[in-house]
Structure 1
Amino acid sequence: MLGGCVDVMLGHRETMVLLLRDASVYGSVYGDETTELMSRGAGITSRAVELLAGPDPDWRGRVRAAQAFATDPIGHLPDVPDDELREELLRGASAILGSTGAAGPR
């Protein structure tokens, strides 16, 4: 199930970034105050991930930091190839859930 969810998110990366990181999407529906709050929240989340990842992390460290903070590693790492990011996301999710096995079946 988790692999399927990751596949859908990776298959629609640009849409996921728009929905999860672009506060202007919510402005027309919820108003300017919500847009401002969403923008501030996205900034706080980005900074928290930076701090959790530590100094000079590689992209895998940034994936773990985003997962630990329960945020969107897909939107934070647009430069990482889908197949590598998928494997790392599932490896991290397995670690968080205490499961064995890395990426599981495709």
Structure 2
Amino acid sequence: MGSKYTERYTAESKGDAIALVGSTGRTVAEVAREVGVSPESLRGWYKQAKTDRGEGRPGELSTAEREELKRLRRLAAEQAKTIEVLRKAAVFFAKESDR
């Protein structure tokens, strides 16, 4: 249930649109109008595709690197929760053993 402005596009349809920009010499806005996506979306897809091919600016993350970063952030959050539970348990049991 996304907004009425959000559609999901397949990897194939994104790839086709990106290829049209790269191979035809037409602008992102022209291709976006032709394929029925927003120019901002296509511009982002095109920029990410260039980065994934190693043609991005220094420091830009590839799709694989972005996915790995998200995975590691989730893992770090889970570990932080586990550490907090263990810390609270240690405090509880320390108090219990003092009785």
Q: Same fold (TM over 0.5)?
A: no
Q: TM-score range by the shorter chain?
A: 0.3 to 0.5
User: Which structure ranks higher in relative contact order (CA pairs < 8 Å, sequence separation ≥ 6)?
Assistant: 1
Q: What TM-score, normalized by structure 1, do the two folds share?
A: 0.31
- Structure number, greater radius of gyration: 2
TM-score normalised over the length of structure 2: 0.32
